[in-house]
Amino acid sequence: MEVIEIISNFANKDNNVLEVEFRLRNDDENTLRSDTIEFEYLNDFGYITNLNLDIFEDIDDDWELDFEDDEDFFIDEDELISFLNEYYTVYNDRLPDAEYI
């Protein structure tokens, strides 16, 4: 089991989860795997430190802060692959089944 390709990923800040679609080395191009992983696991594995996505929740709306979605949370694809490989090594029972597309 080795994650080799990230198809997509999305940080769902409202639910504090990372939604990710990926392929393993043995998966063919017509399959993918989807999972939703809580941010706390990224922090536990050392990929994000001091994660606090609610740092601006108390700011007055009159400030009209405008952040691009891409700037709110970003994890490098290579780091995400490394994280997933470590995560599924520790939690191998959580590896999602392949879906055919």
3-state secondary structure of 72: helix
pLDDT at 75: 80
| Predicted structure pTM score | 0.76
What is the reported pLDDT for 56?
45
CB 24 within 8 A of CB 18: no
For residue range 28-57, list pLDDT tens digits in order: 999 999 999 999 999 899 887 544 445 445
Q: Quote the CA–CA distance of 56 and 18 in Å, as a whole number.
A: 20
